[in-house]
Structure 1
């Protein structure tokens, strides 16, 4: 299980962007955090075409499948979608890791027992302005 934003385990941060221009304000080789929406497809496609690491926030299984097809390295999902997203990822052999957005450490045990790839705490997501 991988952890982002956990107080015991140092790992990379994700940089939440809402425009292609905002990429210029992120560190080199950073992972871009992009919420899936049709309005953000230009950002997602730009990042994918430039071989950038992408974490896509998906709110339903259709978006999870799209995120995988759009070359996401990580697919971030809410807790209620966790097991279904992980099952789809395993069934279709996604390259992307499924991460669950959590608030509290006591959520980790249940997610580990469900076989989730990892967790991400909100403090690992840094908002970048254009």
Structure 2
């Protein structure tokens, strides 16, 4: 399992974007599934991760070039992980966690990546999201 945001493991921060203007080709962008956001990231040549709420969003985000499929609802994680393995997704299935105590749960869900909450830069969007999924 890959860890993003653990103090002992080097990582690249994820920058949460609330609109297309916040997408930056120099950063690892993250946003909720949205066709316009995906198109903007593609046009800018930006790396991006997509928070998905269902399996259809996972399939589309992977095909569109997402690096990570961030499961906003953990109950979909095992199904997304199985699909990713079966169809050989390029994207990895990820879950956001608060601390190390949640690693075993995420491992049981078969997530490829655990993202510690501190690895996400909420920026201007924090007001809109309250910094959570």
Q: Same fold (TM over 0.5)?
A: yes
Give the drift of 1:114: 4.8
- CA-based RMSD: 1.9
TM-score of the two chains, using structure 1 as the length reference: 0.83
Task: Mark the runs of 5 or more structure 2 residues left unpaired by the alignment.
Answer: 126-133
2:30 to 28, 33, 37: 33
Whether the 8 Å CA contact 2:67–2:90 is kept in 1: the answer is yes
1:123 to 118, 121, 132: 118
TM-score of the two chains, using structure 2 as the length reference: 0.82
Q: Which moved more, 1:88-97 or 1:45-54?
A: 45-54
Matched with 1:102 is: 97
Matched with 1:50 is: 44
| Number of residue-to-residue matches in the alignment | 124
Task: Mark the runs of 5 or more structure 1 residues left unpaired by the alignment.
Answer: none
Higher RCO, 1 vs 2 (CA within 8 Å, ≥6 residues apart): 1
Give the drift of 1:109: 2.5
Matched with 1:11 is: 11
